[in-house]
Structure 1
Amino acid sequence: MAKNDWTYEEHVVAFNLYCKIPFTKINATYKPVIELAKLIGRSNGSVAMKLANFARLDPAQRARNVSGLTRGAKGEEKVWNEFNNNWEELGWKSEQILARYKSESIESSAEVYIDDLPLGIDRETIVRLRVNQAFFRKTILASFNYKCCITGINSTELLIASHIKPWAADKENRLNPTNGLCLNALFDKAFDSGLLTITPDYTVKISDTLNLEKENNLFFSKYNKSKIFLPQKFLPNKEFLEYHNSKVFKK
């Protein structure tokens, strides 16, 4: 195979990286781009170009009038189409391939730890779950440029990759990045409890339950009716937001 022909597995790990880094970091000098290039034996510029090619397929980029590179390869389209409606498989499969390139265990490569497994729990099931959860978190935080989409807090330790449609409510979209929001821990808890929501036009709504309490004004009420900071990739799905408004939010 000619060196210029990217393999299927190279496309998969490139898409993995596209998901896990901020859009503004897609360049040949960004450390994760350099690291992936070294792993797969490609130039830094070639990997950066491949990531930019994936951007042309991302509806969020088109909504921002950012098209990436106008010309791409069929390999990008094949991988995008294969995994765009099967995010759980993308997370697991791409992390497995990446671990093989690194010659590491998938737990080490994906930076997940399973030393706390209770007896009797199926190890492979838990490893897959935690690898996918880690992939979802990295994707959501990178999409929102490591900032809470309501408050702008940017301390990574305080940020949560929140599900819009709850984990238990929609198995197929548990890892879909358009089902995610980057929220600080306090606002994540309020969102999960239905004490605040985000409307399909990306406006914050605070429940009257919180607005009635003066002590909460400092934390919540000042954000009522404000617009969220939109992600650079994977815009929150409006149908999922509508679900949260109608099924979870406590008006």
Structure 2
Amino acid sequence: MTNVPAISKDAFASSGNWTREQTKLAFHFYCQTPFGKLHGRNPDVIALASLLNRTPDALAMKCCNIASLDPAMGARGVAGLGNASSLDRQIWGEFHSDWEALALECEALLEALRAQYAQPVRDAEIAEAVEDISRDFVGETRAAMVKVRVKQAFFRRSVLSGYHYRCCISGVSDSRLLVASHIVPWRDDVAIRLHPGNGLCLSALHDKAFDSYLFSLTDDYRIVLSAALENTKDSFLREAFHPISDRRIELPERFIPEVGFVQRHRERMLVSA
């Protein structure tokens, strides 16, 4: 990435209160990691804790405190450790106000930390994308495309990990067939492009149908088919979609799809009918 920030000597203190930078990176990590893996033995927790100059157990505890702020966790009866700080709440609010800026800032911070400690880039997905872009583009075009890939990678991991990498309709778990599907399309609302609550983990088939407004969801997350899909003569489509009509999708462990986003999608489906 470009515009790698300079790191203040106080930004990653090893003791005392967590700094803004440490808390941002902990939240960034929380978004992309299944709750069951937020423990001090997870190699990814260990790697990030080393960069943050904190212990793995301290990072795991910080993520669990952040989890206590997530309404989805409360709905599942998981309250985290319940010791979220005022800074945790502030960072939670900042991400929800500007997901794109914070995702880019956190990725730039991680890049700067890895460079400082001569650690390799852990994110193979982004590294491969950057290598591909670097071969074909230069200058501002390259920088813009790298940013898009970073944002897309953050959204994909945040959504898919919340659903434990399983399609919320079919249960398909092969990552090659899974899509982080936007409820409100990427092009329609810049403010919520990276909001995990604007995403569903869907198989490629269900993603294409959802994106084409062939089905939508009710406010209580039940599948509602479009008139076109209800009346289709295509035998495959009837077999694939008619049995799931009115079925409730599997909800994620965090960032439950926002009802307002679901309503926007459903209204668009009804208008398209």
TM-score (norm. length: structure 1):
0.92
2:172/2:203 contact within 8 Å kept: yes
Length, aligned pairs only:
251
Instruction: Quote the RMSD (CA, aligned, Å).
Output: 2.2
| Alpha-carbon spacing, 1:34–1:173, altered in 2? closer, same or farther (3 Å) | same
Deviation at 1:108, TM superposition (A): 6.5
Equivalent position of 1:203 in the other structure: 222
Task: Specify the alignment match of 1:88 in structure 2.
Answer: 100
Change (3 A) 1:108 1:30: closer
Matched residue SS, 2:159: helix
1:97 pairs with one of 109, 132, 147: 109
Alpha-carbon distance in structure 2 between the residues aligned to 1:100 and 1:60:
32
Letter of the 1:186 partner, please give it: L
Q: Which residue of 2 aligns with 1:126?
A: 145
For residues 146 and 159 of structure 1, the distance between their equivalents in structure 2, rounded to whole angstroms, comes to 8
Number of the residue aligned with 1:191: 210
Query: Of residues 215, 240, 246 in structure 1, which corresponds to 2:261?
Result: 240
> Per the alignment, in what secondary structure is the counterpart of residue 219 of structure 1?
helix
- Decide which of 165, 168, 179 is 1:160's aligned counterpart: 179
Change (3 A) 1:105 1:30: closer
| Structure 1 residues 97 and 196: alpha-carbon distance in aligned structure 2, compared to 1, 3 A threshold | same
Q: Secondary structure at the match of 1:218?
A: helix
Residue of structure 1 equivalent to 2:41: 29
Give the CA deviation at 1:106: 10
**C-alpha distance in 2, partners of 1:85/1:222?**
39
| 1:7 aligns to 2:15 (yes or no) | no
C-alpha contact (below 8 Å) 1:99/1:109 kept by paired residues: no
Please list the CA deviations of residues 42-87 of structure 1 after superposition, one character each: whole Å capped at 9, or x if unmatched: 2111110000010111121122232111112232122112212211
Letter aligned with residue 151 of structure 1: S
Any unmatched runs of 5+ in structure 1?
none
1:21 is paired with a residue whose SS is coil
Distance 1:222 1:31 in 2: 41
Asked if 1 retains the 8 angstrom alpha-carbon contact of 2:186 and 2:193, the reply is yes
For structure 2, the 5+ residue unaligned runs are 1-12
The counterpart of 2:191, out of the listed 154, 172, 185, is: 172
Q: Indicate conservation of the 8 Å contact 1:95/1:106, yes or no.
A: no
Letter of the aligned partner of 1:90 in structure 2? L
Identity level (%):
37
Cα deviation for residue 248 of structure 1 reads: 3.3
